[in-house]
Amino acid sequence: MNELSASSRITYRAVMVRPGVARRIRGLSDRTLAWLFITPTIVLLLAINIFPLLWTIYLSFTNYRANRANVPTIWLGADWYQSILTDPDIWAAMQVTAHFVIWTVVIETVVGFGLAYLIDKKFRGHGLWTTIILLPMMLSPAVVGNFWTFLYQPQIGLFNYMVAFFTGRDASSFQMLGDVTLSPWAIVIVDAWIWTPYVMLICLAGLRSIPDYIYEAAEVDRASKWRQFWSITLPMALPFIMLAVLFRGIENFKMFDMVNLLTGGGPGSTTEVASITLKRAAFESWRTGYSSAFAIILFVTVFGLANIYVKALNKVKSR
C-alpha cells in the first residue's frame, strides 16, 4: 500500500473529476478482459463437473454397467429412480445418514458454541489454546479417522482404556466399531472431535461481531446476565450459528472418507451412510446406471441445501 506514492492519491482525485478517463486509457477493453479472465475457470468446471454431471443424468436412465462396457445400453426411463425411492435398503441408509447428521450437528453446535462463548471471555493465552483446538479440523479426516480404529480397539485401544478407567467397566467388554448399537456413535464421536472446532470458530466470529455498547446498554437497564444471553448474545450470533449448522449438515450428508475407514459401513449396514451405499453400488457391484440415479438424487438434495446455504452466506455477509 505504501508503494503507491502521494501522486496516486492526487490522480485519484483526478478520476473523481473525470470519470471517463480510466475507461479511455486501456489496452484490451474491459469486456474482453473480463471474459478472458473468467472463461478458463468456467471451461474447467464445465469439463470436470458439468459434463460428467450430464453424463451421469444420461446414465441414470440406462442399464449401463462400467465393468461390462460391451453390453448394449438399454434406455430404462425413470425405472431406477422409482426402485431407489421405494427400496427399503436405501431408506435404511438414509436413516443412518440422518442419525449421523443430526447428532453430529447437534453435538458440534452445542459444544462449539459453548467453547466459543468461553474463548470470547478472552482469558490469558486464549489465542494459543484456540489454535490448538483448531488442529483436528485441518488434518486429513481419512488419515486421522483411520488411526481412530486403533484407539477403538477393544483390547489395546486408548479410547476403550479411558472409558474403562473412568467407568470401571472391562476395556474388552465393548467394541465401539463392532457393535451394532455402539458403531453409529463411534463415527459421531470422531466427527465431533474433528469438526467441533469448525463450529466454534464461526460462532466466535459471531460473538465478536456483537458490539459492546449493546451489553453496556443492557447493564444500564439492569438486565440479568441470563437475560442478556438469551436476548442479545444468542439472537445476534444466530446467523453465524446457522451458517455453521448448514455447512456441517451439507458436509456430513456427503460424509464418506472418515466412515469408510472407520467402519466401512459395518457391522452389517449399521453405519452405512448414503455415500457408502453409493460407493458400494457404483464401485463394488458396478451398477452404474442405478448408482447414477442415486447420485442424482443425492445431488439434488445437496443442491437444495446449498441454495439455502448461499442465502445464509449472503445474509451474514451483509452484516
Partner 1 sequence: MTSATTAHSVVEPSATTRRFAGSLVVLYAIITMIPLVWIMLTAFKSPDDAISYPPKVMFKPSLEGFCNLFTTRSRQTPEFIRSLGPPQGLCDSIARSRNMVVAGPSNYVPRFVNSLIIAFGSTVLAVALGTLSAYGFSRFRVPLKDDLLFFILSTRMMPPIAVAIPIYLMYRTVGLSDTRLGMILLYTSVNVSLAVWLLKGFIDEIPREYEEAAMIDGYTRFQAFVKVVLPQATTGIAATAIFCLIFAWNEYAFAVLLTSGNAQTAPPFIPIIIGEGGQDWPAVAAGTTLFLVPIVVFTVLLRKHLLRGITFGAVRK
Q: Is 230 in the site for partner 1 (CB under 8 A)?
A: no
Among 51, 91, 229, 230, binds partner 1 (CB under 8 A): 51
Per the DSSP assignment, residues forming a β-bridge with 75 are 62
How many whole angstroms from its chain centre is CA 254? 8
Among 86, 88, 138, 268, binds partner 1 (CB under 8 A): 138
**Number of residues lying near partner 1 (CB under 8 A):** 125
Neighbours of 95 (CB within 10 A): 12
- The window from 21-29, 73-81, 94-102, 179-187 that contacts partner 1 (CB under 8 A) reads 21-29
Long-range contacts of 148-153 (CB under 8 A, 24+ apart): 148/186, 148/190, 148/262, 149/177, 149/261, 149/262, 152/176, 152/177, 152/186, 152/262
Q: Is 163 in the site for partner 1 (CB under 8 A)?
A: no
- The window from 73-81, 101-109, 117-125, 174-182 that contacts partner 1 (CB under 8 A) reads 117-125
Neighbours of 174 (CB within 10 A): 16
Distance between CA atoms of 82 and 311, rounded to whole angstroms?
A: 31
Q: Is 222 in the site for partner 1 (CB under 8 A)?
A: no
Among 92, 163, 205, 223, binds partner 1 (CB under 8 A): 205
Among 174, 257, 266, 269, binds partner 1 (CB under 8 A): 257
Considering the complex, what minimum distance in angstroms separates the CB of residue 313 from partner 1? Answer: 4
Among 70, 100, 240, 249, binds partner 1 (CB under 8 A): 240
Q: Is 282 in the site for partner 1 (CB under 8 A)?
A: yes
Instruction: Using CA atoms of 295, 298, 300, 302 in order, give the dihedral in degrees to the nearest 10.
Output: -130
Q: Is 26 in the site for partner 1 (CB under 8 A)?
A: yes
Considering the complex, what minimum distance in angstroms separates the CB of residue 245 from partner 1? Answer: 13
Which residue, among 158, 186, 156, has the nearest Cα to 264 in the 3D structure? 186
Q: Which is nearer to partner 1, 95 or 209 (CB)?
A: 209
Per the DSSP assignment, residues forming a β-bridge with 151 are none
Among 85, 219, 227, 235, binds partner 1 (CB under 8 A): 219
Considering the complex, what minimum distance in angstroms separates the CB of residue 171 from partner 1? Answer: 7
Q: Answer yes or no: are the C-beta atoms of 141 and 259 closer than 8 Å.
A: no
- The cell for 317 is 455477509
DSSP type of residue 75 = B
Q: Answer yes or no: are the C-beta atoms of 262 and 148 closer than 8 Å.
A: yes
Angle formed at CA 306 by CA 290 and CA 284, multiple of 5 degrees:
25
List binders of partner 1 among 71-110 (CB under 8 A): none
Q: Is 170 in the site for partner 1 (CB under 8 A)?
A: no
Considering the complex, what minimum distance in angstroms separates the CB of residue 186 from partner 1? Answer: 13
**Residues with Cβ within 8 Å of residue 180, at least 6 apart in sequence:** 267, 268, 270
Considering the complex, what minimum distance in angstroms separates the CB of residue 314 from partner 1? Answer: 8
Considering the complex, what minimum distance in angstroms separates the CB of residue 310 from partner 1? Answer: 6
Q: Is 140 in the site for partner 1 (CB under 8 A)?
A: yes
Angle formed at CA 238 by CA 234 and CA 242, multiple of 5 degrees:
145
Among 74, 82, 169, 216, binds partner 1 (CB under 8 A): 216
